[in-house]
């Protein structure tokens, strides 16, 4: 299903993605940011597909304890697959060959744009469920905490992501197009918040750029990736 392109990219978050949180760009940098945003928004074709299933219909054995804690108290789980499309991938590849600075900014803005698309979708779902007296956790992506990327295969098959939004899974369990994501959200008949995974169980803890800076991907000081892009375009935003 086609999703609307957000009216603007959240630049503060994009700058955090670039490791430039709090930086005040000069006129030349603002021009570069403007160019990147225009290119990204022009190339993005957001699409998403989702499906709600009973929790017991999803094979959670061997998927790690973090996801099971996230879905604790939930009877259903909503599976999401979303992408910004192949045209954006092509744009990023061209920029990487012609203008590395513009490419880096466009890549960060594309990541933020995808998160904004998912945030808007999630808010619509949350509002609709609230009208039915039901509640929703936040998004939890394969690759977050101790949840393996292999879950991408199961999730995308369950929602038929190839036909539904043009999103496929590689043999390495990564997503293509690159600016794509998958997520699971618990649904319950009582307020639920889900559970954040910690660094202890994360398979990227030894190489994590956030930890090297003395923070985490789920802290308020950095963008709330929450595993959506698995910290490095590794399969989900």
Within 10 A of 69 (CB to CB), how many other CB atoms are there?
Answer: 15
Which pLDDT belongs to residue 134? 97
Residue 2 resides in a domain? no
151 within domain boundaries: yes
Residue 152's CATH number:
3.40.109.40
Asked whether residue 68 is assigned to any structural domain, the reply reads yes
Q: pLDDT digit of tens for each residue in the chain (237 aa)?
A: 999 999 999 999 999 999 988 888 899 999 999 999 999 999 999 999 999 999 999 887 778 899 999 999 999 999 999 999 999 999 999 999 999 999 999 999 999 999 999 999 999 999 999 999 999 999 999 999 999 999 999 999 999 999 999 999 999 999 999 999 999 999 999 998 777 656 665 656 677 776 776 777 655 444 334 344 443 343 444
Report pLDDT for 59.
Answer: 84
Within-domain flag for 183: yes
* Residue 170 structural domain: 25-212
CA distance 31 to 151: 40
Looking from the CA of 107 toward its CB, the CA atoms found within 13 Å total 18
In a domain, 234, yes or no: no
Q: Per the domain annotation, does 134 fall within a domain? A: yes
Q: Are the CB atoms for 126 and 210 separated by under 8 Å?
A: no
Residues 6+ apart with CB under 8 A from 150: 142, 173
31 token code pair: 């021009």
pTM, whole model, 2 decimals? 0.85
Answer whether residue 90 is part of any domain. Answer: yes
Task: Give me the number of domains the chain comprises.
Answer: 1
Residue 19 belongs to some domain of the structure: no
């Amino acid at each position: 299903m086609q999703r609307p392109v957000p009216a603007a990219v959240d630049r503060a978050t994009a700058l955090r993605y670039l490791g430039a949180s709090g930086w005040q760009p000069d006129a030349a940098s603002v021009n570069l940011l403007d160019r990147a945003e225009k290119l990204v928004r022009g190339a993005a074709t957001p699409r998403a597909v989702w499906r709600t299933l009973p929790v017991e219909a999803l094979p959670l054995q061997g998927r790690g304890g973090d996801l099971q804690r996230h879905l604790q108290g939930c009877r259903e789980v909503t599976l999401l697959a979303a992408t910004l499309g192949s045209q954006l991938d092509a744009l990023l590849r061209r920029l990487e060959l012609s203008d590395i600075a513009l490419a880096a900014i466009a890549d960060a803005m594309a990541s933020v744009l995808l998160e904004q698309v998912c945030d808007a979708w999630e808010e619509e779902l949350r509002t609709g469920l609230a009208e039915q007296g039901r509640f929703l956790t936040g998004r939890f992506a394969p690759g977050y905490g101790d949840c393996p990327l292999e879950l991408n295969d199961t999730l995308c098959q369950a929602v038929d992501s190839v036909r539904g939004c043009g999103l496929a899974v590689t043999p390495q369990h990564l997503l293509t197009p690159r600016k794509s994501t998958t997520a699971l959200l618990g649904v319950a008949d009582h307020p639920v918040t889900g559970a954040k995974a910690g660094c202890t169980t994360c398979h990227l803890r030894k190489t994590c750029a956030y930890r090297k800076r003395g923070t985490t991907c789920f802290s308020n000081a950095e963008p709330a990736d929450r595993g959506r892009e698995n910290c490095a375009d590794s399969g989900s935003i």
